[in-house]
Amino acid sequence: MRYRLFWKFLLPYFVLAASAAFCLAWVCGNQLQASLLQQLAIRLNGADLVVAAGLVEDFDRSTDAKLQSRVERVAAATGTRITIIRADGTVLADSSEQVPELPNQLRNVELLRAQNVGFGTDIRFDETQGRIFYAARRIGPPDGLRGFVRTSVPMSTIDEEVSNFRVSIGLWSGILGLVGFCIAAWVSQRVSSPIGELTKAADVAAREGSGIRLPNSGGGDELSRLQQALRRMDEAQAEIISGLKDENQSLKQRGERSAAVLEGMTEGVLAVDPAERILLTNAASVRMLDLPPGDLLGRPLWEVVRNNSIQKVAQSALNGEPSATQEIEMSKQSKIVALRAGRLPGTPCPGVAIVLHDVTELRRLERLRNEFVSNVHHELKTPLAVISACVETILDGAKDNPNDLERFLQRVSDQTDRLSNLIGDLLRLARIESGLDVFDMAKLDVAKLVEDCVREHSEVASAKDVRLEIIPSVDAVRVEVDREGMRTILDNLVDNAINYTPCGGRVWLRWLSENGEAHIEVRDSGIGIPEEHLARVFERFHRVDAARSRAAGGTGLGLAIVKHLVQVFRGRIEVASVVDEGSTFTVHLPQA
Q: Would you place residue 505 in the very low, low, confident or very high pLDDT band (cuts 50, 70, 90)?
A: very high
**Whole-angstrom Cα distance, residue 464 to residue 502?**
8
Q: Given a cut of 80, is residue 571 above it in pLDDT?
A: yes
- Superfamily grouping for domain 2-163: PAS domain (3.30.450.20)
> Percent of the chain, pLDDT > 90?
12
| Residue 229 C-alpha from the chain's centroid | 35
Hey, which residues does 522 pair with through a beta bridge?
A: 509, 585
Nearest 5°: phi and psi at 574?
Answer: -130, 155
Q: Would you place residue 9 in the very low, low, confident or very high pLDDT band (cuts 50, 70, 90)?
A: low
Contact status, residue 121 vs residue 43, Cβ threshold 8 Å = no
Q: What is the pLDDT of residues 40-90, one digit of tens each?
A: 667 666 666 666 555 545 555 455 677 778 778 877 877 778 888 888 888
A 10 A CB-CB count for 571 gives: 19
**Residue partners of 579: CB distance under 8 A and separation at least 6:** 527, 528, 529, 530
Least confident of 115-119, 210-214, 277-281: 210-214
Closest-CA residue to 482 (of 517, 444, 513): 444
**Residue partners of 389: CB distance under 8 A and separation at least 6:** none
More confident position, 437 or 463: 463
Identify the pLDDT of residue 377: 61
pTM of the model: 0.41
More confident position, 538 or 505: 505
What's the N-to-C CA distance of the chain in angstroms?
A: 82
CATH number of 363-432: 1.10.287.130
Task: Reduce the DSSP state of residue 3 to 3 states and report it.
Answer: helix
The amino acid present at 472, given as its one-letter code, is P
Identify the pLDDT of residue 510: 93
A 10 A CB-CB count for 346 gives: 8
Q: Would you place residue 1 in the very low, low, confident or very high pLDDT band (cuts 50, 70, 90)?
A: very low
Identify the pLDDT of residue 545: 60
Identify the pLDDT of residue 217: 55
Question: Of the spans 382-391, 432-441, 504-513, which averages the highest pLDDT?
Answer: 504-513
DSSP state of 421: H
Q: What is the pLDDT of residues 146-194, one digit of tens each?
A: 788 888 888 777 777 777 777 787 787 778 777 877 777 777 777 667 7
Identify the pLDDT of residue 53: 56
Nearest 5°: phi and psi at 134?
Answer: -115, 140
Q: What is the pLDDT of residues 335-362, one digit of tens each?
A: 888 888 888 887 888 888 888 888 887 7
Mean pLDDT along residues 277-300: 81
- Give the DSSP per-residue string, 500-564: TS-TT-EEEEEEEEETTEEEEEEEE-SS---HHHHTTTTSTT--SSHHHHHHTT--S-HHHHHHH
Which CATH entry fits the domain spanning 266-358: 3.30.450.20, 3.40.50.12780, 1.10.645.10, 3.40.50.1980? 3.30.450.20
Angle at the Cα of 290 from the Cα atoms of 284 and 293, rounded to 5 degrees: 90
Identify the pLDDT of residue 218: 53
Identify the pLDDT of residue 547: 44
Q: Would you place residue 585 in the very low, low, confident or very high pLDDT band (cuts 50, 70, 90)?
A: very high
Closest-CA residue to 416 (of 382, 376, 393): 382
Q: Given a cut of 50, is residue 102 above it in pLDDT?
A: yes
Which H/E stretch holds residue 1? none
**Residue partners of 78: CB distance under 8 A and separation at least 6:** 43, 47, 50, 151
- 3-state helix, strand, coil split of the chain in percent (to 5) is 55, 20, 25
Which stretches does DSSP call E strand in 287-334?
325-330
More confident position, 189 or 9: 189
Could you give the C-alpha distances from 436 to 265, 430, 433, 568, 589, in angstroms and in order? 29, 9, 8, 12, 22
Identify the pLDDT of residue 572: 92
Mean pLDDT, the chain, whole residue set = 78
Mean pLDDT along residues 416-442: 72
More confident position, 32 or 442: 442
Identify the pLDDT of residue 257: 80
Identify the pLDDT of residue 453: 92
Contact status, residue 269 vs residue 356, Cβ threshold 8 Å = yes
Angle at the Cα of 289 from the Cα atoms of 288 and 292, rounded to 5 degrees: 120
**Whole-angstrom Cα distance, residue 377 to residue 375?**
5
Identify the pLDDT of residue 212: 57
Within 13 Å, how many C-alpha atoms sit on residue 404's CB side?
A: 12
Ramachandran area for residue 154 (φ above 0: left; ψ -120 to 50: alpha; else beta): beta
Q: Would you place residue 494 in the very low, low, confident or very high pLDDT band (cuts 50, 70, 90)?
A: very high
**Residue partners of 316: CB distance under 8 A and separation at least 6:** 341
Q: Given a cut of 80, is residue 587 above it in pLDDT?
A: yes
CATH number of 438-590: 3.30.565.10
Closest-CA residue to 354 (of 334, 338, 335): 338
Identify the pLDDT of residue 55: 55
The amino acid present at 157, given as its one-letter code, is T
Could you give the C-alpha distances from 539 to 178, 267, 344, 365, 577, in angstroms and in order? 109, 27, 44, 11, 17
